[in-house]
Amino acid sequence: MRVTTHDSDTRRKLIEHISADAVFHGDFTLTSGKKATYYVDLRKVSLDHRVAPLIGQVMLDLIADIPDVAAVGGMTMGADPIASAILHQGAARGLAYDAFVVRKEPKDHGRGKQVEGPELAGKRVIVLEDTSTTGGSPLKAIEALRKVGAEVVAVAVVVDRATGAREVIEAEGVPYLYAIGLEDLGLA
């Protein structure tokens, strides 16, 4: 489900940055092994000082109607700058979203944690992803979060590629939200 943001000017600016700096045309192999004629590399903008605040604002608007969310995050590394942007822009709005990071595997040293950040047992959390393809990364994050007792109340994605991630996530019983679709980037 796509939710439009309250501030259409901020969303428009974000779409312009993504289109100009994060969409690459050519022959690419996706995570799924499928071929594509374009690639959306959101890290080109999610780590940019001009664009990260826009991502935070647009994603805050996307998740605004989900009550009692304690923290946001997802699989390292794609979700990390998105979570950080939400944490900082949320704090600027007087909102208290913490962030967490889900490692691909539990650490083999120290406390052996797979989920880093605040204690999440019994807390409502949102899994983030920069760009969706197969839904595999959010599913891994959901599994790790459920093991630590967190309640995953949604998956929120910056750019949805319309390649089946939504269906996979919703089949897991988790609502799927996205801020920007292929049509917004002129790729549909």
State how far the Cα of 141 lies from the Cα of 101, in Å rounded to an integer: 9
Residue 33's pLDDT is what?
A: 82
For the segment 81-100, the average pLDDT, to the nearest whole number, is 97
Q: What percent of the chain has pLDDT over 90?
A: 84
pTM: 0.93
Residue boundaries of the structural domains of the chain: 8-185
Residue 32's pLDDT is what?
A: 74
CATH 3.30.360.10 describes domain 8-185: no
Residue 110's pLDDT is what?
A: 64
Report which residue type is found at 175.
Answer: P
Provide the pLDDT confidence category of residue 111 given band limits of 50, 70 and 90: low
Residue 4 reports pLDDT greater than 60: no
Q: Is residue 161 within 8 Å of 131, Cβ to Cβ?
A: yes
Edge-first strand listing for the sheet containing 69-75: 115-116, 98-102, 69-75, 124-132, 151-160, 176-181
State the chain's mean pLDDT as an integer: 93
Provide the pLDDT confidence category of residue 3 given band limits of 50, 70 and 90: very low
What lies within 8 Å, CB to CB, of 86 at 6+ separation is: 56, 59, 60, 63, 72, 97, 99, 128
State how far the Cα of 175 lies from the Cα of 62, in Å rounded to an integer: 12
